[in-house]
Amino acid sequence: MKNIQLNRMRNDKGFIAALDQSGGSTPKALEIYGIPKEAYSNETEMFQLVHQMRSRIMESPAFTKDRILAAILFEKTMDSKVEGLYSADYLWEKKGIVSFLKVDKGLADLENGVQLMKPIPNLNELLARANERHIFGTKMRSVIKEVNKEGIKAIVDQQFEIGKIICDAGLVPIIEPEVDIHTVNKKEAEAILKEELISHLKALDESCQVMLKLTIPDEANLYADIMKLPNVVRVVALSGGYSREEANEKLAKNHGLIASFSRALSEGLNDNQSDDAFNQMLNQSIQNIYDASIK
């Protein structure tokens, strides 16, 4: 199954749906979806509601392998069920969609213009459980906010250090050093990031296959040569706070770069919508993101 999924991720057309809002971002995601904070009284109820939202997306007839390669799941989503199956099993067996797991535990405080990842306790145990749940790969996010060579190097060092552990566990890591879209001289930060990424990728053992999730660059096709490196399965783009329309417009200028959108995917969806209205809105969102990803 892993080889079939690897081939799909490397070669098939489509994009990645990011369904991995965690504790910090979940209340905002629910509020945008039409569920206010007053609708739940504790974290357990909050995560039940967000799982219902994610399940509704996954179960939608619009959410299919024809346009969606994979979905990124939050840990609680991985351990929850959809139609009686664990989420990754449902996605693969019923939809033909590959699953990734968000493994980072959030961001550290700003230092040297960047936010590294917080420590990930019990990572090996989490990776073992991910394998049991038939997860294909992982995702972990850190953020660049300023043009700072020392900080950007530290971001990439940390990402690849943990990425190697994930490779050793038999999973494919998505390395995500996001460049904040509001970064002053964002283009310069992206140029430094690219140099660091290439340096680490060329030093990586050929048995370690990775993916990269990057902010859509200001310079079109900036990452085209990275896509050709043998260790790179795919390079995908995050929407980074852009509206869906703007993200799609920018994405379409970058050949070979496919979407991995969260906010831009769920934009316009609402808990109070009828199933027909919900599925129609989701179908249009998916089609727009797909079109921008296969240009």
The catalytic site residues sit at 176, 213
Work out the burial of residue 24: count CB atoms within 10 Å of its CB; fewer than 13 is exposed, 13-18 middle, 19 or more buried: exposed
User: Pick from 232, 241, 247, 225: which is nearest to 291 by CA?
Assistant: 247
Torsions phi, psi for 46 (to 5 deg):
-60, -45
Lookup: tokens for 210: 């990775």
Q: And the tokens for 254?
A: 């970058």
CA 262, 266, 268, 269: dihedral to nearest 10 degrees? -160
Q: Which residues contact 125 (CB under 8 A, 6 or more apart)?
A: none
- Where helices occur in the chain by DSSP H, the ranges are 2-11, 26-32, 43-59, 75-78, 87-90, 123-132, 149-168, 186-203, 224-227, 244-251, 263-266, 275-293
CA distance 289 to 34: 23
The letter for the amino acid at 275 is: D
